[in-house]
């Protein structure tokens, strides 16, 4: 089994996420276990994709549709962040942030499905636009009127659009077709 020194970016992720806080020995073992169990699937011979988006109500349908379309490709492993187990560390530590960055650091591609800016996926959009632009493609829903995106969200989407990494869609059928355009 690999130790965490062989996984790229782990120390930087922990430093950025924890600041001066240190992991207890059992938490370090938990993190090592996560790396040993989950990261090899992301580093395998297949292309790995994490699909970000809303898990709320009707929106999970489109997030899952993108995941399903990607998984139809031979040699592809696409998953949602929720598909991987949570880190069991102190509640006072940012467990989701650590998990999120460990995943994003090790996948081949990050795919975002965006329909509004009221959920946690908007915070993820800002992080991926700053840290993982070169491996990210987003699918942004286009509305004919009353666009639900705030100015900061529109700016993050624009970054992807300017870099030919944004695919606009209106309905689920079009979303599925746009997924085919993603490498």
pLDDT in tens, 115-168: 988 777 878 998 999 999 999 999 999 998 887 898 999 999 999 999 999 999
Thinking of the domain 4-179, which architecture would CATH place it in?
Answer: 3-Layer(aba) Sandwich (3.40)
Q: Are 132 and 91 in contact (CB under 8 A)?
A: no
The pairing of strands 166-169 and 76-80 is unpaired
Q: What is the mean pLDDT of the chain?
A: 90
Cβ neighbour number for residue 174 with a 10 Å cutoff:
15
User: Chain centroid to CA 83: how far?
Assistant: 12
């Amino acid at each position: 089994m690999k130790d965490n020194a062989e996984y790229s970016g782990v120390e930087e992720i922990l430093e950025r996420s924890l600041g001066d806080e240190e992991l207890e020995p059992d938490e370090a073992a938990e993190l090592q276990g996560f790396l040993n169990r989950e990261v090899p699937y992301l580093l395998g011979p297949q292309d790995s994709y994490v699909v970000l988006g809303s898990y709320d109500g009707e929106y999970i349908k489109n997030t899952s549709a993108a995941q399903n379309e990607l998984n139809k490709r031979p040699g592809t492993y696409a998953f949602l962040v929720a598909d991987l187990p949570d880190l069991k560390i102190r509640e006072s530590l940012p467990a989701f942030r650590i998990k999120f960055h460990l995943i994003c650091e090790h996948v081949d591609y990050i795919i975002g499905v965006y329909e509004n800016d009221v959920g946690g996926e908007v915070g993820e959009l800002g992080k991926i636009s700053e840290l993982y632009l070169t491996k990210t493609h987003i699918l942004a829903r286009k509305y004919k009127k009353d666009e639900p995106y705030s100015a900061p969200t529109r700016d993050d989407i624009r970054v992807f659009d300017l870099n030919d990494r944004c695919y606009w869609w209106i309905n689920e059928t079009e979303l599925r077709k746009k997924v085919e355009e993603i490498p």
